[in-house]
Amino acid sequence: MSLWEIIRRLYPYVLPYRRMVVSTLLLTLVGSLAAQVNPFVLRYTVDTVQSLLNRNLGLAQGATMLMWVSVLLLGKEITNTFIQFGQRFYGEKIRISVASTLSQDAIHKILSYQLGFYSDSGNQTGKLQTRVDRGVESLMKLVQNFFIDILPLFANAAVALVVMFMANLYVGLVAVAVLPVYFWISYRQADKLNGTRRALRGLREAKSQGLVNLIDSAVVIKSFVREDYEEQKQAQVQQNLQEAQLATRKTNFLYDGLKTFVEQVGVVLIIILTAYLVLDRQISIGAIMFHILLFNNVSAPIRQLHRIYDEMNEALTYSEGFFDILDADDAVEKTGPLQPDQVRGTFDICHVDFTYPSGTQALHDVCLTIKEGTTTALVGLSGAGKSTIIHLLCKFYEPDSGQMLLDGQPLADYDTHALRQRIGLVLQKNHIFKGTIEENIRYGVMDATFEQIEAAARQAYLHDQILELPRGYQSDAQQLSGGQQQRIAIARLFLKNPPIIFLDEPTASLDAIATEQIKNSLDAIKQGRTVVIISHSLAQIVDSDCIYVMKQGRMVESGTHEQLYDLRGTYREIFDASARSLNIEKLARVMVDDEDEVGDTAA
């Protein structure tokens, strides 16, 4: 990205603050004029003192002049304070306002993108956050630099140079002659430091990230007794950081020294030249100080040049990643015009192929029908493509080819938000937001009353358990057990009350008791709705109205439990394996023995 392009992109963001920008620019101009007052006053003072001395006059005659000079200098300084305050404050205000609009824009865009955007390797959670933060931060540094450093300093330098030339052509030429050397050293310094700021930040992040990782993996580290190994890894990061820090400091000290030297050469040249001109009676003695102070104004901004150059480079690097996020227009979720009042929930899927953005083809020529008001189970080994079907039904992704109909209309024609309002999704592990149980259930319907929330919790068989907690509905939801969190998700669904429900291994991460309890909640929510369930639990599959069996992205069998069992195909294979893993024969023997004993005792 070029600097020009960044300015073009930032322009609309700065536009609402154009008045503030103009005021800041005006203040900058006044400030740079005010900065030249000192050299003039000093020249006048020295010349007047000199002339008083020449005329053998003393303090009595000079007092009024001194008073006026003091008033002028102090008055200028007070004005300058206000100018600087205004300029910095407005500059910061523009920067802060633009930064928050940029961040908010990024959030708005990211929320509008398809799921595929998040799973892209460049956009994974942490990376996306870093790209937004770094992008905004470096762009804002650019804005800040412009208003607070570049503009005032360079305006000062330009005005000072013009004044020098106007006062004396030769002194002006000497001042200009030193500048290229100064520029060259600053450029070399920036070049040497190019990227070190970034590298340093990377190393610092690696260091703090390292500590976070250590804490996260403490149990594994300790159980494998890998403390020494981990310590060594950290020591290496520390060592790299140390070296990079020292190298940066070394470069800075060296070049800063060089710049001070060149600046001094400039000062010396100006002293020699002005002293010569004074002795040659071409200019007054006060002009020596006059030119030195002006030269100081000229060289001040160039001292900052390497930093400005470096930060500009950084902005060029990071803004690209940031604007890429804002520009990912083809990742925006597609929507359609259909917003029916009622959705019955009959899905017809015909010859659907689907490939994830990563390139994995998850579905091959898949056909299935989900009838309204019935429960359909999807069965298959892990990775068969079951969840992918649910993703497509929720319009999280679009199929590559094939037809997907809901109530006879293409799914793509439905308004995406309206469609999702009518779908409830319970996953293996549902996200529980930081907050209370009440807030988490309320996510189903944001303006629900407390009574409605309580009713939903009751339907999900959760209410009684919540009452047993010391803070009831105000307890921290993230502290609940897996089974309880799962029921919060189900209560959310009861509150949302959608006609279509997708259950993706809702009990896979729960223990047997919790699974049994959740089954009650699930059986309750299935009533009168269209349900698609993915489960490894036989109990939840066998009562389904229709079962579809998938294998490696293809639909291989379908029918009721009995039909599929008799078919002796993939379903039977999975069923028998599940039965064996449960050791059903032994369980059955134990249960029969148990019943016999009960029978004997009774006899």
* Contact set with ligand ADP (CB under 6 A): 119, 356, 358, 360, 362, 380, 382-388
Q: Can you say how many angstroms the Cα of residue 112 is from the centroid of all Cα atoms in its chain? A: 15
Q: Who's near 291: CB < 8 A, 6+ residues apart?
A: 39, 164, 167, 168, 171, 175, 270, 274
Nearer to ligand ADP, 355 or 436 (CB): 355
At CA 269, angle to CA 266 and CA 271, rounded to 5?
110
Nearer to ligand ADP, 223 or 382 (CB): 382
Q: Who's near 258: CB < 8 A, 6+ residues apart?
A: 185
Nearest distance from C-beta of residue 535 to ligand ADP, angstroms? 11
Nearest distance from C-beta of residue 396 to ligand ADP, angstroms? 9
Q: Is 363 in a helix, a strand, or coil?
A: strand
Nearest distance from C-beta of residue 349 to ligand ADP, angstroms? 14
Q: How far apart are CA 511 and CA 516, in angstroms?
A: 9
Q: Are 443 and 492 in contact (CB under 8 A)?
A: yes
Nearest distance from C-beta of residue 28 to ligand ADP, angstroms? 52
Nearest distance from C-beta of residue 551 to ligand ADP, angstroms? 10
Nearer to ligand ADP, 305 or 426 (CB): 426
Nearer to ligand ADP, 35 or 549 (CB): 549
Q: How far apart are CA 437 and CA 430, in angstroms?
A: 14
Nearest distance from C-beta of residue 103 to ligand ADP, angstroms? 27
The residues pairing with 476 across neighbouring beta strands, listed in sequence order, are 436
- Cβ count near 463 (within 10 Å): 18
Q: How far apart are CA 483 and CA 306, in angstroms?
A: 59
Nearest distance from C-beta of residue 534 to ligand ADP, angstroms? 6
| Single-letter amino acid, residue 178 | V
Q: What is the largest CA-CA distance in the chain?
A: 141
Nearest distance from C-beta of residue 417 to ligand ADP, angstroms? 22
Nearer to ligand ADP, 264 or 360 (CB): 360
Nearest distance from C-beta of residue 468 to ligand ADP, angstroms? 35
| Residue 241 vs residues 200, 236, 246: alpha-carbon distances, Å | 7, 9, 9
For CA atoms 239, 242, 246, 249, give the dihedral sign. Answer: positive
Nearer to ligand ADP, 390 or 480 (CB): 390
Nearest distance from C-beta of residue 448 to ligand ADP, angstroms? 31
Nearest distance from C-beta of residue 573 to ligand ADP, angstroms? 15
Class of residue 596 by CB neighbours under 10 A (exposed 0-12, middle 13-18, buried 19+): exposed
Q: Give, rounded to a whole angstrom, the gap between the first and last alpha carbons of the chain.
A: 90
Nearer to ligand ADP, 131 or 386 (CB): 386
Nearest C-alpha neighbor of 392 from the set 494, 496, 487, 504: 504
Nearest distance from C-beta of residue 149 to ligand ADP, angstroms? 45
Q: Are 311 and 60 in contact (CB under 8 A)?
A: no
Nearer to ligand ADP, 140 or 393 (CB): 393
How would you classify the pairing of strands 530-534 and 401-406?
Answer: unpaired
SS (H, E, C) 384-434: CCHHHHHHHHCCCCCCCEEEEEECCEEHHHECHHHHHHCEEEECCCCCCCC
Nearer to ligand ADP, 18 or 351 (CB): 351
Q: How far apart are CA 1 and CA 3, in angstroms?
A: 7
Nearer to ligand ADP, 95 or 386 (CB): 386
Q: Are 436 and 473 in contact (CB under 8 A)?
A: yes
Angle 305-327/125-144 helices, nearest 10 degrees?
Answer: 130
Nearer to ligand ADP, 319 or 387 (CB): 387
Nearest distance from C-beta of residue 380 to ligand ADP, angstroms? 5
Nearer to ligand ADP, 387 or 517 (CB): 387
Find the DSSP H helices in 304-373: 305-327
Nearer to ligand ADP, 424 or 553 (CB): 553
Find the DSSP H helices in 470-511: 482-496
